Structure 1
Amino acid sequence: MAKRESTVLGPDGLPLQVSTITADVLPPPLIGVRQDWANSIASGLTPERLAQILRAANEGDNRDLLTLAEEMEERDTHYASVLGQRKRAVSGIEPVVVPGAENDARAKAAADAFESVVFAPQFDDAVDNLLDALGKGYAVVQPIWQFGEIWQPGEYLRHDPRRFQFDAKDHLRIRSAEAQDGLEVPSWSVILHRPRLKSGLTVRGGLARLVSWTFMLKSYTLQDWAAFLEIFGMPLRVGRYDRQASAEEKRVLLRAVRDLATDAAAIIPMGMEIEFIEAKGGGGNAVFGAMADYLDKQVSKAVIGQTMTTDEGSSLAQSKTHDEVRLDIRRADAKQLGVTIGQDLAAPFTAFNFGPDVPPPQVIWPVEDPEDITAFTEAVARLVPLGQPVAVSDVAKRMGLRLPDKGETLLVAPATSAPANQTARQLGRAAACPGCGTVHRAATGAADTEEDPLIAAALEDWEADIAPITDPILEAARSIRAAGGGFAEFEAALARMAPDTAALARRLAVMAMMARGDGDVGE
């Protein structure tokens, strides 16, 4: 009886053979006369050849286009720079794992467990390989699952995109010489990243296809520029010989002229001369240079959506404006990468370890808008005194700070030796009243000392002013306590009282009037 292979449940709830997720899904490549890694397309590229490559890709054979895309990154420094800039704009962000459902304990446990996958060192390499799809239109990375305490990827295999093809419904297939339509890719075995840079077929969506014509034109431009410099960059050497010179003497002179181009040294018979004529028409440098700069700017627009931060001649204000365009592209790339990881990695991880009915976690690469810290702190400083509640965690997050752990040493404001009003007085200034704008006597410092005569007068005989109010309350409390009553009776007695506040009100009114008068006249 044949041994039955073990299975696990995939995200769709169907059994999945373990061998399809623990071993390379690609068959060993056949050795032939035409190897993908040895083929070259960029050398001698012509408009006719490029058009043929693009037509073949439209019909499903995109191997030459992918080879050209690889060579473009190796040969064009500007394209490699801006494409790398776009990749690193996303890969340089630390991802965040969030549960797939709120108030779901299992979803929370799955998200916590998946963090060990996201923050593993090999995951960063997988992200870099997946972002290769920006140039080529798609990228395939296979996680090799291993089982220990849980199912998790032990490594990630980057597969050459030329080993795959797409069928009429734009589904990924394994390219095979035995099957024209390719072989089926086992379910949930690979991570396929297809950034939707434009609508349409996957093979027509990579940046390399868009930049290929520019790359070819720039190659012609640089070749013509090099030929121009070879002709006009060095002076023309003319050898002059006498009419009676023999054929041998002419050969000697010609050899001497040629030696000057390589050795910068030559000897000639007496009576002969060599003249150096400066070449005219050096303005061709500007023509070829302007063409190369123009093509580079078109590449910048195609890849990162702007030119100000990659080419010279931009101001700081212009660069900030164009940075916003690149920010939109970065946010779209990050969102699409998060969708890919969620579908092809987080979903199988959750199904393998927690079951297909548990919502898989989401992976987010947060792209924040550039924060004006000065404007933010000024706004908070104005809002808090007005009563607007502001969470400390929100402020720390916006400023890129974390909340300190318990027991950590903290930075604190230095202790002030004098109140703000006293500091103002030392500088010869008095603080104005925030209510009416007038500088009162209290602002000059007299009111914050015990020797102030007005305060001393206000505190005289305060017991006589407060007695008409407190004596009836104390008498009622004693009477109710003697009669055995409680708080309810005391509360009812308070409701019936009409305390005599005339003396206290009179003193407060007189003191307030005197304080206002002293402050207004500055005495």
Structure 2
Amino acid sequence: MTTTMIDRLKAAFSAFRGGAQEGMQTADLVALHNDYIASLTGGLTPKRLEALLRAADEGDIVGQHTLFAEIEDRDEHIHAELSKRRRALLSIPWRIEPGKASGKRAEAVAMAVREQVEAIPDFEDVILDMADAIGHGFACLEIEWSHDGSRHLPAGLHHRPQNWFMLPLHARDGRAGTLRLRDNTPEGQELWGLGWIVHKHRSKAGIFARAGLFRVLCWTYLLKQYCRGDFSQFLEIHGLPMRLGKYPSSASDEEQKTLLNALRMLGSDAAGIIPEGMEIEFKEAARGSEKPFMAMHDLCETGQSKAILGSTLTTDTKGVGSQALGEIHNEVRLDILASDARQLAGSLTRQLLAPLAYLNEAVTDPALLPRFVFDPSRPEDLEKLAKSLPELALVMDIPTRWAHERAGIPMPEEGEAVLARKDGVTKNDPAAPDQGDPAEATAALAAEAGDDPRFPDQDAVDAATVPDAVLTALARDMLAPILAEVEAGVAPEVFLGKLAELYPKMDTTALEELTARVLFVGELWGRLSAQAEAVPTAGAE
């Protein structure tokens, strides 16, 4: 034991015997007791966040992406919303199409490359890993190549954290976006050719460091974590009376500390001691409400949902939304989904399909390179499509393939069995009744009614007018759910919020049938009038 250490021990022992170290050293350091608020944000403060973002703008992106990873780990709402957006890509069917060059060679290359892509283990995980670029602005997947005979195939594509990468000094302006591996050198290690898929995703406009969605989310994240910390403090003191200690003017500093410690113990242990002559008074219990904290918390999460999904009703209706409104807002999210899919398909085409075609199919002509394509379109409602297609087919030529695509029903292969009606009549059955020419059918219908198709009877048209009483009755039946709410005395603001819920309950069957009949009659008389003008009568010849 050295002389210096002995001297330190003597000084410490002297202070201890003198009473300078009674109690605990941290008892008076109130700031340290509130450090759990900082722990909620990982030590992140507005000043530190601003410094990280400014450094990223200047080319040092490591700290920014380390923070972005922590945000998704710590904020369950951001994680859930980003997970929705990423996993929505898995619901989109994809295909590999031939390149711009037409012919059997392009089709053969596309088919071969598709087989190779399908052989990649857990290819859906590859899509999810690449979609990590939505938040960060980029995602890097390292390709592990293997050999299958004469073919080069990926045995796996491994996601690497964004903070493994850096921008070299010559690209620190943030615009080039040339990523390199960090190896403790100013320039970094250049990525191997054909060794990586680097997907750069532009969730917003700006330089490379600002392209990720986390640049929008980091401020609401910080505000929400501070709000949670303040709310935790509020819950600790809510309902407890304020404790006020009084000491005589002659009290020493040590006696004042003793009184303060007693007040703190009353707040947690409900017990404490104070010197004689001092007093503790209990004032009115601490008041307040959780509403300001929850309002701030909900405001932050609403903004995060809008930034990630483009809407809020796909996340939480808060009791005033409905499935119908959620579907309307979901259409906005589908636009974002289509943009994500387009960017992802471009990276897969350039950095996965092109190497496979070059290595295994010896493709050197860019026109032969296959394309990765997502199809974000959704099938039409089959019931509506079945009603509209027959009527549209009377006035326009509709390609069969288009109808199959809109219905989401694949075209049958050659010789493949197809569904048939139970009465045995199929679409191309020779025994099916021939509809004939629409104009001839119209004339025949009019003749059966005892009218000359060239001279429609205007009196008959006037007589066919639907009475107002019938329209009023049909409208009343259709609006029955709404009228019931009004008659029940529902408040106007509540009624407006329930309109979207009442819409699916409205029975429009009778009104639709009447409208269809009116339209049919109108079209029928229109055709007859046109024929009457085009064909001269016998007396006019």
* TM value normalised by structure 1: 0.62
Aligned equivalents of 1:256 and 1:181: distance in 2? 59
Contact 2:166 2:181 (C-alpha < 8 Å) held by counterparts: yes
Query: Which residue pairs with 1:173 in the alignment?
Result: 180
Query: Which residue pairs with 2:471 in the alignment?
Result: none
Query: Which residue pairs with 1:327 in the alignment?
Result: 334
1:208 aligns with 2:214: yes
Query: Which residue pairs with 1:20 in the alignment?
Result: none
Contact 1:41 1:64 (C-alpha < 8 Å) held by counterparts: no
Structure 1 residues 437 and 186: alpha-carbon distance in aligned structure 2, compared to 1, 3 A threshold: same
Aligned equivalents of 1:355 and 1:411: distance in 2? 43
Q: Per-residue deviation at 1:95?
A: 1.5
Contact 1:297 1:311 (C-alpha < 8 Å) held by counterparts: no
Aligned equivalents of 2:403 and 2:241: distance in 1? 71
Q: Per-residue deviation at 1:94?
A: 2.7
Q: 1:192 aligns with which of 193, 198, 204?
A: 198
Contact 2:310 2:336 (C-alpha < 8 Å) held by counterparts: yes
Query: Which residue pairs with 1:479 in the alignment?
Result: none
Contact 2:180 2:191 (C-alpha < 8 Å) held by counterparts: yes
Query: Which residue pairs with 1:354 in the alignment?
Result: 361
Query: Which residue pairs with 1:502 in the alignment?
Result: none
1:74-223 aligned within 5 A = 74-119=73-118, 120-149=120-149, 150-167=151-168, 168=171, 169-177=176-184, 179-223=185-229
Contact 1:300 1:306 (C-alpha < 8 Å) held by counterparts: yes
Aligned equivalents of 1:353 and 1:183: distance in 2? 28
Structure 1 residues 370 and 295: alpha-carbon distance in aligned structure 2, compared to 1, 3 A threshold: farther
SS in 1 for 2:115: helix
Aligned equivalents of 1:328 and 1:348: distance in 2? 30
Aligned equivalents of 2:233 and 2:415: distance in 1? 70
Contact 2:95 2:374 (C-alpha < 8 Å) held by counterparts: yes
Query: Which residue pairs with 1:452 in the alignment?
Result: none
SS in 2 for 1:436: helix
Q: 2:311 aligns with which of 303, 306, 313?
A: 306
Contact 1:173 1:184 (C-alpha < 8 Å) held by counterparts: yes
Once the two structures are aligned, what percentage of the paired residues are identical? 33
Aligned equivalents of 1:41 and 1:200: distance in 2? 30
* TM value normalised by structure 2: 0.60
1:372 aligns with 2:381: yes
Amino acid at match of 2:82: L
Q: Per-residue deviation at 1:186?
A: 2.2
Structure 1 residues 383 and 437: alpha-carbon distance in aligned structure 2, compared to 1, 3 A threshold: farther
Amino acid at match of 2:69: E
Q: Per-residue deviation at 1:282?
A: 3.5
Contact 1:235 1:276 (C-alpha < 8 Å) held by counterparts: no
Query: Which residue pairs with 1:395 in the alignment?
Result: 403
1:45 aligns with 2:29: no
Q: Per-residue deviation at 1:257?
A: 11
Contact 2:62 2:165 (C-alpha < 8 Å) held by counterparts: no
Contact 1:152 1:349 (C-alpha < 8 Å) held by counterparts: yes
Q: Give the CA RMSD over aligned residues.
A: 3.7
Aligned equivalents of 1:351 and 1:218: distance in 2? 50
Structure 2 gap ranges (5+): 1-38, 245-257, 272-280, 426-441, 451-541
The structure richer in helix per residue is 2
Query: Which residue pairs with 2:476 in the alignment?
Result: none
Structure 1 residues 117 and 236: alpha-carbon distance in aligned structure 2, compared to 1, 3 A threshold: farther
Question: Which has the larger displacement, 387-396 or 130-139?
Answer: 387-396
Structure 1 gap ranges (5+): 1-39, 240-250, 266-274, 418-431, 441-523
Structure 1 residues 407 and 353: alpha-carbon distance in aligned structure 2, compared to 1, 3 A threshold: closer
Equivalent pairs, count:
364
